[in-house]
């Protein structure tokens, strides 16, 4: 497993993966040293994340290979259908997956998403439009939603 650490506007970000794809991207709460050399298997992910933060990219095309249960992977796959600049509620997500009663399981799978930003769990909000739990912290979720807001004049929240 190869690792790279980059600095982003939201903190130091660790990227892990190999020739089968990127398996983990997460923001770290502590300061650390950024990678002096990026492994070739992670270069495209690093470039695309940098483009995203610079406002030059709205979709990711590098190979991903997250580890999780079949249900989690199904939820993460559905998250990929939430367009840049849009949000979806946990209830809507449960309905799209075919089981409105699975809302807690969907929320749990959303919270275990190993591919920060790329699988856009930050685009899932409460049914009342409120920001709800986010592993990276609600301030990061708000930042990401504002960053993706196509009408840059005002915050979505």
Write out the CATH class of domain 70-148: mainly alpha
pLDDT in tens, 35-59: 999 999 999 999 999 999 999 999 9
Active site residue ranges: 121
- Kindly tell me if the per-residue pLDDT of 84 is higher than 80: yes
Confidence of residue 135 (pLDDT cuts 50, 70, 90): confident
Note if the pTM is more than 0.85: yes
- Kindly tell me if the per-residue pLDDT of 88 is higher than 90: yes
Q: What percent of the chain has pLDDT above 90? A: 85
For the chain, domain boundaries = 2-53, 70-148
pLDDT at 154: 52
- Kindly tell me if the per-residue pLDDT of 157 is higher than 70: no
Buried b / exposed e across 69-94, counting CB within 10 Å, b at 16+?
A: eeebeebbebbeebeeeebbbbebbb
Average pLDDT, the chain: 93
SS3 percent helix, strand, coil of the chain, rounded to 5, is 35, 20, 45
């Amino acid at each position: 497993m190869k690792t790279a650490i980059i600095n982003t506007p939201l903190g130091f970000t660790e990227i892990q993966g190999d020739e089968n794809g990127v398996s983990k991207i997460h923001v770290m709460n502590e300061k650390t040293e950024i990678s002096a050399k990026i492994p070739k298997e992670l270069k495209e992910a690093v470039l695309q994340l940098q483009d995203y933060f610079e406002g030059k990219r709205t979709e990711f095309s590098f190979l991903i290979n997250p580890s999780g249960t079949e249900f989690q992977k199904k939820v993460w796959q559905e998250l990929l259908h939430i367009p840049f600049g849009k949000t979806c509620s946990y209830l809507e997500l449960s309905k799209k997956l075919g089981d409105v009663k699975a809302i807690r399981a969907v929320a749990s799978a959303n919270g275990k998403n190993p591919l920060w930003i790329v699988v856009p769990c930050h685009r899932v909000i409460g049914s009342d439009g409120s920001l709800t739990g986010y592993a990276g912290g609600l301030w990061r979720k708000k930042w990401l939603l504002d960053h993706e807001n196509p009408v840059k004049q005002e915050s979505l929240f």
